[in-house]
Structure 1
Amino acid sequence: MQLKCAASLLSLLSLLSLLSFLGLALLFATGCSVSADLDGKSCPCAAGWVCDTASDRCVRPDAGRDSATPPSDTGTPPADSAVPPEDVPGRVMFIDDSAATFGMGTLDGTTVDGDALKLDGSGRTGTIESRVFDANGQRAWTSLSWTPRGPYGKNLPDSRGAESGYGADAVDMAGNLMLWHLDEMADLNDGDPVADGSGRSNGGLALAPDSPLRVVDGLIGNAVVDRVDTYLYLPTSTTADFDFGNSDLTWSLWVNTTEDCSDRNKVYLGIDGSASPNAHLWLGCTSVGYSLCPSGSPSGLAGGYFHSASDPRDGGGYCGTTRINDGAWHNLIIVKAGHASARLRLYVDGVMEDERDASFEGPLDFPMDPDLTVGDFTGGTYPAIGDFDEVAIWGRALSASEAGAVYRRGALRLSLQVRACDDPACAGEQFVGPDGTSATSFVDTGTLTPATTATLTGLTGRYVQYRARFDTLSTTASAVLERVAMTGDPI
């Protein structure tokens, strides 16, 4: 520091001694100019300066964030940064949250969209391997946090819960009457219970007289494999929830099947009142000759019929355009909005494929108490073969955006792994997940809000890198990653 002053050196020293005694700092003197030429000096830095760990030089706090940001020098960390509020000397935090920072990574099947990252539409899987971050010294990497735009790969919320904290596709389960996740932990024998997550105590039972219904890996958690001689059912005599009356309603399910339905309709979800005055409702796979399907339609389309009376038949039917018996998972949603003057809307994989007017003369009630069934009608009249998952019924009409959100949470996946390295090429180190192996990945485990901050253990090194993987059932939809942050503490 250079002092240029017209006053005498002796007078200045006397004044400095006096102010030091009083606990004050001299910032100026009449006729003097003081210059603090610290910019570019080697770390550690004086108070008020930031250490750029990439260059080991002191910079002004407003000189812009570099690849490493010491939280102790930058005030309150950004939201979701995974950095505790207290200062930790030597702590660094690396952040990707813009087109520029995501673009520094290696993108394979992914693309930058605004300041976020998603699949580029060329396939159903894609990744980003981030740039390798240099902490300019050994660090113990303690936390990983990320911001997904929506809830991906998650069951619908239980107990009529409403999600929050997502930028898109949060689901509100208001009006939910039945929610079968079908995540049972063992095969279902005849009479075994099926759990209900709606909070309405509308659990079901298994009908499997000869051999159990198998429980296998499903779209989300587990799924139940239905055969010709089996189905799941809920006796409507145990609840008034399925006397729908004149109310709006929505049915939704996931199915994976290769069964041919060209010769006969296959019921995936239904209530068969058998005769007036009982209503007759079903959603499933429809035959080529079904009168409501467009002429020349292929086999294996979603379809069904809702009517309040069978003689004369009222209500209306519906037919999709996408083949659903191709051995892939498909989401089917039928929405009834209105009653005397109603609209029936069929959604397949989040897209509305049919919309029709319908008029119901009577209420959708079931005074003869038939069973609500998954995989058939009661009595085995229209059996279906396939894997079923995440079956839900609402006593309200879901909107188009809600139907899309139900599909996307099942169809999209986003997972992350990290690795710490001793060299800038990260040669030989594996990306790992929560258990420290490459077999697992970090995913959102929240229920009604995101749970996307993970504690890291056993990861040490000067360099760190993350990899994010995107998966989808459809090239028209993608998970979106908005932000990733990693924090390291000095060793």
Structure 2
Amino acid sequence: MRTGTKIKALGFLLVLILFFSIAYAAKFNINKQKKFNKGEYHNTYYNTTNNALQLNSTTGTYTSRIFNAQNPAEWYRIKWTASKTGKITAEETEGLILLMHLDEQNRTIIDYSGQNNNGTYNGNLYSQTGEINKSIGFDGHNDEIKIERTNNPELDPTKEVTLSAWVKNTNRNKNWQKRIICRAGGSQGCSYGLYFNDGSTYDRLGIQVRTETGQHQKEWDWTGMNTEWFHWAMTFSNGTMILYFNGEQKANWTGLGNTLVHRTQYANDDLYIGATDTGKNAYAHIDEAAIWNRTLTAQEIREIYIRGITEYNISIRGCNDSLCNNSQWNKTDSKNIFINNTQYFQFKTELSTENTNYSPQIFRVKIKYTVLPDTLIPSIYPLQPAQNTTCRTEQTIEIAANITDNKKIDTAHATITYPGNSQQIILTNKTQNKYNNSFTLPKIIGRLNITFFANDTSNNINNTETTYFNKLDTIPPAVLNVTPKAGSNFSKNSVVQITANVTDNIAVDKIFANVTNPDLSVTWLELYDDNSDNIYNNSVIADQAGWYYITIIANDTSGNINNTVQTNFDPANLGGGTGGGGGSAKMAYQSIPDWKKELNTIIIPPQECAESWLCTEWSTCANGTQTRECSDWNNCGTEKTKPATKRNCEIDTVNKEKEAKPEQPRFAITPIFSLKQTKTTVGTLGILAIISVLFASMFLTYRQTKKHKSKEKEKNKNIKLKKDKILGKLKGVYKIQ
């Protein structure tokens, strides 16, 4: 490549870099149906005949598409081309000699025609609701606006004139010959004017001129006159006078002369609104009164009417998200706007009309903006896990965030810091704007902090979004392979090794063996992991005959306790022996913390139930068989020692047994004597005495039995209470602070 070519290529590259690194102007132009169709219509449509957006109802809206500048931008102008609405202005029309908007709140009424024909209002009905903004009211008695004709010859056109006003009749049937506009001429009448002529039998609108041929008053019957706002206009030229109602020609009269004649010799020969020099004050509200020294066309008068009944408003908003979900609309009546540092822009127009035959029309919208260098950092929200979340188990969790940018995300990651370490994971985008990855929780307890990082293609970085969660340990240690195994037998005086394989998801703290001796005394042993292999051990000398019961109590550094693993053994009275192995016990009372010295409490599993059977007498021999019923006094639910309830028999054998003393069941009552053995007749007192003795004997037997069962129940209850006390204190000591 030649040197010159290289220089050109390098120069082009520099231009591109500058183009994308500095601000530049741009615009959007919405001027065709296909461009309007990218927005949303509501009771509106694009009229292909007029090439304009308009209504198909009385009200409607059009919302544009969302415009994307690709970078942050300054939106500084929105220009629209539309049909005229609202007030007329002197700049928009020629020949105005009077233009009063009638929005004032004082007695001076301004002429906006540029002719300085200001007037004076003598009433008090300021700022009434108008057809366009506000209006002036007239009470039908003496209210008027007077515009002095002196030094204002332009108020006396001679060849042509046009009158226009928005009027509201406020008191029907009392507006006979009441003036709306009148260039006064005393008894000669108005040289031009508008007047009401409504009564009990007819409703009329009148217009009048005075020419060289005389006074001419013409009226049009308005069937159904009401108290709504309407537009009223008249024109005169070349001997023809025309009346317009709501933009439409309703009547015309010809041959009225060619020259307007104005009386000027009297002081009150002035221009009046709402009255004339001789009174005839109107009951009305009047808005937008105007006079031209030329004849307006029918189209011009229709446009004045349409301006009054149609309306549209433009609202705009700038956004930094592509859906503009979080941005508010702001109305604007100015084409110069200022929305700074947003990538997206949208406009909306609201349209309305009082007559569905006419609609406001939007022909074109042009939006100008300046693209700024990209300085917007990515948006990171929401975050996962949510702040102050608690994780209670060792698990894998999701680290995630919704990350967006006005341009494009380049990279994203998260840094997790926790006691003694930190770790960084890359976040990947798999679903829409979600960036995530999995994270396996470390074997620690405490707070884990997460800081999210996002970098866009313009190298803007957001590293300010943080969250945190807490990891708590609720898993108790695992206790396995306990020895001695349950039911083991050892020789008396053996040294019995107690071992357990204890592990924990975090860390083991202390391991104890609670040994309940045969005499129900308690021995506490701390078990040690001598070889760091998770095998905790110690030994006890089995110097008593009977069963030893062991509960392994394992505590981790988080205060979780496992006290569910139990075993037992029985040193049979077989003399001395080695049993579980030689060696001396490592446990000594002085090495146990003070809180454990108080726990000389029995921890023992439920004892085996001892059956105690009570049986009735054998039944009489029937078919070579006798039966009886037996029940377990202790309700053990087992039948290990249950006596026989059926046996074979012979009748002679049975008779012999009857002659012998019958076998009494346990706790049976033996009578002191039998009535059958007494040959003497016993009196009533004797019988009562016998019955009393029987009942006394039965009562004493019942009380003895109940007292025995009550003592057994109380003994079991005390054992359970002592066991609960031990466990409660253990949990209190190792509770996480």
TM range (shorter): 0.5 to 0.7
Which has the higher relative contact order, 1 or 2, with Cα contacts under 8 A spaced 6 or more apart? 1
SS at the partner of 1:403?
helix
C-alpha contact 2:319 2:344 (8 A) present in aligned 1: yes
SS at the partner of 2:87?
coil
Where does residue 200 of structure 1 map in the other structure? 115
Where does residue 56 of structure 2 map in the other structure? 121
Is 1:251 matched up with 2:184? no
SS at the partner of 2:60?
strand
SS at the partner of 1:457?
strand
Where does residue 343 of structure 1 map in the other structure? 240
What is the distance in 2 between the residues matched to 1:88 and 1:409? 44
C-alpha contact 2:318 2:339 (8 A) present in aligned 1: no
Where does residue 387 of structure 1 map in the other structure? 285
What is the distance in 2 between the residues matched to 1:302 and 1:279? 15
SS at the partner of 2:153?
coil
Is 1:367 matched up with 2:278? no
What is the distance in 1 between the residues matched to 2:338 and 2:228? 38
| Aligned with 1:472 (options 350, 353, 366) | 353
SS at the partner of 1:214?
coil
| Aligned with 1:429 (options 317, 327, 330) | 327
Is 1:378 matched up with 2:281? no
Where does residue 250 of structure 2 map in the other structure? 353
Is 1:224 matched up with 2:136? yes
| Aligned with 1:281 (options 175, 186, 192) | 192
C-alpha root-mean-square deviation of aligned residues, in Å?
A: 3.5
Structure 1 or 2: more strand by fraction: 2
What number of residue pairs does the alignment pair up? 366
C-alpha contact 1:248 1:336 (8 A) present in aligned 2: yes
Where does residue 332 of structure 2 map in the other structure? 442
Deviations 1:144-169 (A, max 9, x none): 32322333223422xxx4xxxxxxxx
| Aligned with 2:298 (options 400, 417, 424) | 400
Q: In terms of Rg, which structure is larger?
A: 2
What is the distance in 1 between the residues matched to 2:176 and 2:154? 30
What is the distance in 1 between the residues matched to 2:74 and 2:51? 24
SS at the partner of 1:236?
coil
Paired residues for 1:76-115 under 5 Å: 89=23, 93-114=27-48
Deviations 1:20-48 (A, max 9, x none): 58x6679xxxxxxxxxxxxxxxxxx9799
Where does residue 53 of structure 1 map in the other structure? none
Letter in 2 for 1:345: I
Letter in 2 for 1:317: K
C-alpha contact 1:187 1:213 (8 A) present in aligned 2: no
Is 1:331 matched up with 2:237? no
**Structure 2 residue runs without a partner (length 5+):** 375-737
SS at the partner of 1:406?
helix
C-alpha contact 1:350 1:408 (8 A) present in aligned 2: yes
Q: Shift in Å at residue 465 of structure 1?
A: 1.6
What is the distance in 2 between the residues matched to 1:351 and 1:396? 19
The alpha-carbon distance between structure 1 residues 404 and 47, as it changes in their structure 2 partners (threshold 3 A), is farther
What is the distance in 2 between the residues matched to 1:98 and 1:323? 43
Q: Shift in Å at residue 204 of structure 1?
A: 1.6
Where does residue 79 of structure 2 map in the other structure? 146
Structure 1 or 2: more helix by fraction: 2
Paired residues for 1:170-209 under 5 Å: 171-174=92-95, 176-184=96-104, 186-188=105-107, 193-208=108-123
Q: Shift in Å at residue 302 of structure 1?
A: 3.2
Where does residue 450 of structure 2 map in the other structure? none
What is the distance in 2 between the residues matched to 1:255 and 1:270? 14
The alpha-carbon distance between structure 1 residues 321 and 364, as it changes in their structure 2 partners (threshold 3 A), is same
Q: Shift in Å at residue 336 of structure 1?
A: 0.3
C-alpha contact 2:315 2:332 (8 A) present in aligned 1: yes
Letter in 2 for 1:118: L
Letter in 1 for 2:339: T
**Structure 1 residue runs without a partner (length 5+):** 1-15, 27-44, 50-71, 74-86, 162-170, 291-297, 433-440, 445-452
Q: Shift in Å at residue 308 of structure 1?
A: 3.8
The alpha-carbon distance between structure 1 residues 47 and 95, as it changes in their structure 2 partners (threshold 3 A), is farther
Q: Shift in Å at residue 375 of structure 1?
A: 0.9
Q: Shift in Å at residue 227 of structure 1?
A: 1.4
Letter in 1 for 2:354: L
What is the distance in 1 between the residues matched to 2:14 and 2:222? 67
C-alpha contact 2:186 2:277 (8 A) present in aligned 1: no
Letter in 1 for 2:332: F
SS at the partner of 1:456?
strand
| Aligned with 1:418 (options 303, 307, 316) | 316
What is the distance in 1 between the residues matched to 2:4 and 2:66? 49
| Aligned with 2:2 (options 17, 21, 24) | 17
Where does residue 302 of structure 1 map in the other structure? 205
C-alpha contact 2:137 2:286 (8 A) present in aligned 1: yes
The alpha-carbon distance between structure 1 residues 149 and 361, as it changes in their structure 2 partners (threshold 3 A), is closer
Q: Shift in Å at residue 183 of structure 1?
A: 3.2
C-alpha contact 1:307 1:364 (8 A) present in aligned 2: yes
The alpha-carbon distance between structure 1 residues 326 and 107, as it changes in their structure 2 partners (threshold 3 A), is farther
Q: Shift in Å at residue 248 of structure 1?
A: 1.0
C-alpha contact 1:255 1:387 (8 A) present in aligned 2: yes
Q: Shift in Å at residue 129 of structure 1?
A: 0.8
User: Which structure 1 residue ranges, 4+ long, deviate > 6 Å from structure 2?
Assistant: 45-49
Q: Shift in Å at residue 372 of structure 1?
A: 1.8
C-alpha contact 1:153 1:220 (8 A) present in aligned 2: yes
Q: Shift in Å at residue 232 of structure 1?
A: 0.7
C-alpha contact 1:273 1:368 (8 A) present in aligned 2: no
SS at the partner of 1:477?
coil
What is the distance in 2 between the residues matched to 1:93 and 1:121? 30
Letter in 2 for 1:414: Y
Is 1:235 matched up with 2:148? yes
The alpha-carbon distance between structure 1 residues 263 and 223, as it changes in their structure 2 partners (threshold 3 A), is closer
C-alpha contact 2:165 2:287 (8 A) present in aligned 1: yes
Q: Shift in Å at residue 287 of structure 1?
A: 1.9
SS at the partner of 1:275?
helix
C-alpha contact 2:176 2:198 (8 A) present in aligned 1: yes
C-alpha contact 1:182 1:223 (8 A) present in aligned 2: yes
TM-score, normalised on structure 1? 0.65
Deviations 1:241-269 (A, max 9, x none): 34444x11111112233431476233211
What is the distance in 1 between the residues matched to 2:62 and 2:240? 44
Deviations 1:47-94 (A, max 9, x none): 999xxxxxxxxxxxxxxxxxxxxxx89xxxxxxxxxxxxx96565533
The alpha-carbon distance between structure 1 residues 116 and 313, as it changes in their structure 2 partners (threshold 3 A), is same
Quote the sequence identity (%): 20
C-alpha contact 1:206 1:213 (8 A) present in aligned 2: no
C-alpha contact 1:141 1:420 (8 A) present in aligned 2: no
Q: Shift in Å at residue 117 of structure 1?
A: 3.5
C-alpha contact 1:418 1:464 (8 A) present in aligned 2: yes
